[in-house]
Amino acid sequence: MFTGLIQDIGVVERVIPGGMTDFWIRTALGARDFALGESIAVDGACLTVVERAGDSFRVQAAPETLRRTTLGARQPGSRVNLERALALGDRLGGHLVAGHVDAVSEVLETRAEGGSWVMVFGLPAELAPFFIEKGSVAIDGISLTVNSVGTDRFSVQLIPETQERTTLRSRGVGERVNLEGDMIGKYVARLVSLRQGPGGGGLSEAVLKAAGFGG
C-alpha cells in the first residue's frame, strides 16, 4: 500500500528484456537498505525489489505489467517517480494507493495558471464511475485532486512543490501516463452495483443517495 506522495525521482540505469523485464534504477532513497522482496511503486506500478547494489536496485516487470502500464516505454536515462510501501505507523499524507494501475491515459492539454500547472488527461470509460470533482486520483503514482471531470477527460492542477518533486510537469501533450482510480470510489461503485442488481441504471448522485451515501 502507498500514499501517492513521491519520495524520490529515480533514474533508470539499465533495462534487461526477457521473460521478465529487469529494471536497474538509481535512487537517493538508500537502496542498500532496501529489503529484498519489499514493494516499491515505480511510476505508480507496484514492483518487487529483487536485488540491490550501492545506490541502485533491481525490480522485475511481468509482460502483463508492461502491457497495462507505461513501464515498457522506459529506457536508460528515463526519470521515474518512486515511493516505498507504507510501514506500520507511517502517516497517510496522500490517499490510499494500491500500486495496481487501472489504465493508461494520454495528456490532452497543458497550461500555466498562476503559479500552478494545469494538465488535462483522457478519461477511459471504464474509470469514469470512479471520478468526481475534488476526488482523488493517482497519476504516475502521484496523489492528486481531480479539478474537473468531463465525459471523456479530467483535469488536475500541480502546485510548484509537485512540479519540482515529481516527473509529471515534464509530460507533454500526447505522452502517456499511468492512472489508478480512487480505491474508496471503487468499493462504493461495487457496493452500489450489488445493491442495484443486474440491469441497474449505473452510478449517479441519485443512486448514491438512495444507497445511503450523502444527505
- CA Rg value for the chain: 18
The per-residue pLDDT for 212 is 56
Residue 129 pLDDT:
87
pLDDT of residue 96: 84
| The pLDDT value given to residue 199 | 58
Domain residue ranges in the chain: 8-84
127 CB-side CA count, 13 A? 26
As averages over each run of 10 residues, the pLDDT of the chain (215 residues) reads: 95 97 98 96 98 98 97 98 87 83 98 96 93 94 97 97 97 98 76 66 55 53
pLDDT at 179: 98
pLDDT at 86: 87
- Grid cell of 71 as nine digits: 513501464
The pLDDT value recorded for residue 211 is 52
Q: What's the CA gap between 52 and 27, in Å, rounded?
A: 11
Name the CATH code of domain 8-84 (choices 3.40.718.10, 2.60.40.420, 3.30.559.10, 2.40.30.20). Answer: 2.40.30.20
Distance CA 214, CA 119 (A): 29
Helix (H), strand (E), coil (C) string for the chain: CECCCCCEEEEEEEEECCCCEEEEEECCCCHHHCCCCCEEEECCEEEEEEEEECCEEEEEECHHHHHHCCHHHCCCCCEEEEEECCCCCCCCCCCCECCCCCEEEEEEEEEEECCEEEEEEECCHHHHHHCCCCCEEEECCEEEECCEECCCEEEEEECHHHHHHCCHHHCCCCCEEEEEECHHHHHHHHHHHHHHCCCCCCCCHHHHHHCCCCC
**What is d(CA 189, CA 30) in angstroms, rounded to the nearest whole number?**
39
Residue-level pLDDT at 143: 96
Active site residues: 2, 39, 46, 48, 62, 100, 145
pLDDT of amino acid 209: 54
